[in-house]
Amino acid sequence: MNFVEPIRDPGKIEDMKRLLLQQSNRNYFLFVMGINTGLRISDLLPRTVREVKGKSHLLIIEKKTGKRKKFKLNAELREEISQYTTGKDSDDYLFGSTKNPRPITRVRAYQIINGAGRRLGLTEIGTHTLRKTFGYHFYQRTRDIATLQMIFNHSHPAITLRYIGITQDIIDEAIDRFSL
């Protein structure tokens, strides 16, 4: 498994949205849903229209942990969901494959996200970038590591800070300010 980073630059996030929208609504929505929920790709891909359309919360059982998770869908994401699901059947997968009646695979999701990132000059980009991007920007806006730790179900704040790249940012800034 490759190490990936969050997308720290809001301009690059907008660039990713534009590029993915040029590819398809599905690819765009995968990115938007991922960076606005912080869910793992394994928890995003199997979601159906029924689970999100007209809902205020997403209720899932996390694949990795087996734990029940209830996640609030913010107003902007609910609007994106409404637009994206218009005309879709309630049993349709949100991220359906064009080749079979199943959702796209983790590998295909990686190809989509990594390919778009590389076209924009981003490195260390993968499906987990979506989750880390959510966490990084949630922390930057709120400085609420305790809530983010609960959202991610991490056992310690230091794990969450390292996970979203804040620990590395702090180290880099300290080294930039240090000189003998």
The confidence score (pLDDT) of residue 110 equals: 97
Q: Examine the residue annotation and report whether 163 is marked as an active-site residue of this protein.
A: yes
Could you give the angle at the alpha carbon of 134 between the alpha carbons of 128 and 136, nearest 5°? 100
Q: Examine the residue annotation and report whether 17 is marked as an active-site residue of this protein.
A: no
The answer to whether residue 108 sits within a structural domain is yes
The confidence score (pLDDT) of residue 170 equals: 83
Alpha carbon distance, N-terminus to C-terminus of the chain: 38
The confidence score (pLDDT) of residue 107 equals: 97
Question: In the predicted model, what is the mean pLDDT of the chain?
Answer: 95
Structure confidence by residue, pLDDT tens digits, 38-91: 999 999 999 999 999 999 999 999 999 898 999 999 999 999 999 999 999 999
Res 1 pLDDT > 60: no
Q: Give me the domain span that covers residue 90.
A: 10-177
The confidence score (pLDDT) of residue 167 equals: 83
Q: Examine the residue annotation and report whether 64 is marked as an active-site residue of this protein.
A: yes
Q: What is the CATH number of the domain that holds 93?
A: 1.10.443.10
The answer to whether residue 3 sits within a structural domain is no
Sort residue 121 into left (φ over 0), alpha (ψ -120 to 50) or beta.
left
Indicate the burial class of 9 (C-beta count within 10 angstroms; 0-12, 13-18, 19 or more).
exposed
The answer to whether residue 4 sits within a structural domain is no
The confidence score (pLDDT) of residue 43 equals: 97
Catalytic-role residue among 93, 136, 139, 163: 163
The confidence score (pLDDT) of residue 119 equals: 97
Catalytic-role residue among 40, 47, 132, 137: 40
Q: Which has the closest alpha carbon to 110: 27, 37, 24, 7?
A: 27
Structure confidence by residue, pLDDT tens digits, 86-108: 999 999 999 999 998 899 999 99
The confidence score (pLDDT) of residue 11 equals: 98
The answer to whether residue 69 sits within a structural domain is yes
Catalytic-role residue among 26, 108, 131, 137: 131
Catalytic-role residue among 108, 128, 132, 137: 128
The answer to whether residue 1 sits within a structural domain is no
Average pLDDT over residues 19-29: 98
The answer to whether residue 5 sits within a structural domain is no
Structure confidence by residue, pLDDT tens digits, 130-151: 999 999 999 999 999 999 999 9
Query: What gap in Å lies between CA 161 and CA 20, rounded to an integer?
Result: 28
Average pLDDT over residues 112-120: 97
The answer to whether residue 173 sits within a structural domain is yes
pLDDT band of residue 164 (cuts 50, 70, 90) is very high
Res 3 pLDDT > 60: yes
Q: Examine the residue annotation and report whether 154 is marked as an active-site residue of this protein.
A: yes
Domain tally for the chain? 1
The answer to whether residue 2 sits within a structural domain is no
